[in-house]
Amino acid sequence: AQSVTQLDSQVPVFEEAPVELRCNYSSSVSVYLFWYVQYPNQGLQLLLKYLSGSTLVKGINGFEAEFNKSQTSFHLRKPSVHISDTAEYFCAVIKQIASGGSYIPTFGRGTSLIVHP
């Protein structure tokens, strides 16, 4: 079975400071990993994804994440945050199922990033 653990439910940080949002996964098979962001009163938007290849993945809005197979982690980072980065962030592991060959995401519980001026 696959699962995703986001270790911090809430991360407060000052504007222009660096931030890391932690994500660990468990899976017995090859994984595809995504990070999504949800701004207040909106749906989820894709930040970045890891499928294979380079373990450092760059996404939108200056975010990046590093896939670490030995530590089964996919932590999200940004060197300098803005007030506008205040949002909920979700890590997801994608599994392929037999039905129609579809890919199904399993999401973590989310991390609320709160950027203070």
Partner 1 sequence: DVKVTQSSRYLVKRTGEKVFLECVQDMDHENMFWYRQDPGLGLRLIYFSYDVKMKEKGDIPEGYSVSREKKERFSLILESASTNQTSMYLCASSRPIQGYGYTFGSGTRLTVV
Quickly count: other Cβ atoms within 10 Å of residue 88's Cβ: 17
* Identity of the residue, 14 or 103, whose beta carbon is nearer to partner 1 in the bound complex: 103
Q: Comparing C-alpha atoms, which of 78, 97, 96 is closest to residue 86?
A: 78
Q: Which is nearer to partner 1, 6 or 73 (CB)?
A: 6
Nearest Cα to 58, choosing from 69, 46, 71, 44?
A: 46
Name the residue nearer to partner 1 (CB basis): 45 or 80.
45
Binding site for partner 1 (CB under 8 A): 6, 9, 32, 34, 36, 41-46, 49, 51, 90, 96-97, 99-110
* Maximal C-alpha separation, the chain: 48
Select from 88, 87, 81 the least CA-distant residue to 117: 81
Q: Smallest gap, in angstroms, from Cβ of residue 73 to partner 1?
A: 18
Least distance to partner 1, CB of residue 46, Å: 5
In angstroms, give the least distance from the CB of 80 to partner 1: 26
